[in-house]
Chain A
Amino acid sequence: IAGITQAPTSQILAAGRRMTLRCTQDMRHNAMYWYRQDLGLGLRLIHYSNTAGTTGKGEVPDGYSVSRANTDDFPLTLASAVPSQTSVYFCASSARLAGAVSTQYFGPGTRLTVL
């Protein structure tokens, strides 16, 4: 593994079903994030985790939950999917470049369609 991986690459899901999107990083970054990307809205933060064992809510957390049992993994769960959750989901982790500058490293994304 190099960087951040996400699975699945794409998924079509029936409304009401439960779904977990997986995210794994091998860079030992403390902070991890889940975003959704929708046309014209850019990236919106769903949940984040500053370090293993802690999580926080982002801009659009409703309908989603996360866990951070260890440094490497940060799964995102949709308990009961709805069509408005159709989107492309990106997982990211962040590292400091120098001083207070940090950059986020993004996974390739998961395209989710809820019917």
Chain B
Amino acid sequence: GEDVEQSLFLSVREGDSSVINCTYTDSSSTYLYWYKQEPGAGLQLLTYIFSNMDMKQDQRLTVLLNKKDKHLSLRIADTQTGDSAIYFCAESIQNTGGFKTIFGAGTRLFVKA
């Protein structure tokens, strides 16, 4: 089946690193994504990683992919209060007619000053 799971909440202190974890079930995933949703807004793409990569770094963001365990993580270095948001993990899988995207339930990140 197709399922993406994340923990619902994470709380960190400002300046610390945040690590948000995600597991997925479909081994045919082609790309995996992290989206950010700020209060009252829609989702915005943060970063993505191709399924044959194991790491991608983009400024304060590091994505780690363990394809064997179907585990994806997003690390935010030097977390700021502006990083408080809901973070969605998503996988793109091929189906008839193209690709479809499966979203996790989202992890709400609280950053304490």
Give me the interface of A with B, judged by CB distance under 8 Å: 4, 31, 35, 40-43, 45, 48, 50, 56, 90, 92, 97, 100-104, 106-109
Contacts and interface: CB of A to CB of B under 8 A. Distances in A.
B45 interface: yes
B103 A42 contact: yes
Contacts of B30: 100
A100 B31 contact: yes
Interface size class, chain B: 20 to 34
Contacts of B101: 104
A113 B46 CA distance: 30
Interface of B: 8, 30-31, 33, 40-45, 48, 50, 88, 92, 97-101, 103-106
A63 B22 CA distance: 31
A42 B104 contact: yes
Contacts, number: 51
12 contacts: A42-B105, A43-B103, A45-B100, A90-B43, A100-B31, A101-B48, A103-B45, A103-B48, A104-B45, A104-B101, A107-B42, A109-B40
A85 B113 CA distance: 37
Instruction: Tell me the interface secondary structure of chain A in the complex.
Output: strand
Given A41-B105, A42-B104, A50 B98 contact: yes
A45 B2 CA distance: 13
